[in-house]
Amino acid sequence: MRILIALCSGLIFGFGLILSGMSNPVKVLGFLDLAGQWDPSLAFVMVGAIATAIVPFQWVMRRQRTLLATTPQLPTSTQIDKRLLIGSLIFGTGWGVAGFCPGPALVAAGAGMPLAILFVVAMLAGMGLFNLIDKRFMNA
């Protein structure tokens, strides 16, 4: 059951990314290019997604129970530290270089685009690099 839910959620997420235009890096870069010919569309993606999710999220957070009667696993950290800021800076820089963030990259790779597949491989390498750094320096 949980696996089926996860598959459906991934599918709907993918459809959303395609319909919204987020899975198209040229469109994402058009949104990030404030000084050029700006395409504000992707602000509508964020607004639509957050406005839809906010009520179910607040409901689950208050209830602390899922519809399958389990306890939801929600992030507990509220700390704004160097890791969060440096990580977000690095991520945003990479996003601005090619117009891909993780979800759209997986969708574009699924569409069979060779450069998107290359991006996903590099992204996995970047995550692997994080695991190495994390193990070596941060939890020592």
Partner 1 sequence: MTIDWSQFTPWSSLAGGILIGISVSVLLLWNGRIAGISGVVGGILSRNRNELAERIAFIAGLIIAPGLVWMILERPTVQIDSGIPAIILAGLLVGLGSRLGSGCTSGHGVCGLARLSVRSLVATLTFMAAGFITVYVLRHLLGV
Other beta carbons less than 10 A from residue 127's beta carbon: 10
Q: Does 137 bind partner 1 (CB under 8 A)?
A: no
Q: Does 113 bind partner 1 (CB under 8 A)?
A: yes
Q: Which of 130, 137, 139, 140 binds partner 1 (CB under 8 A)?
A: 130
Q: Does 73 bind partner 1 (CB under 8 A)?
A: yes
Instruction: Give residues 15-54 in contact with partner 1 (rule: CB under 8 A).
Output: 15-27, 29-30, 32-42, 44-54
Closest distance of CB 140 from partner 1, Å: 16
Contact present, 27 and 104 (Cβ < 8 Å)? no
Q: Does 115 bind partner 1 (CB under 8 A)?
A: yes
Q: Which of 62, 77, 136, 137 binds partner 1 (CB under 8 A)?
A: 77
State the Cα–Cα distance between residues 53 and 129, nearest whole angstrom: 32
Other beta carbons less than 10 A from residue 6's beta carbon: 10
Contact present, 104 and 18 (Cβ < 8 Å)? no
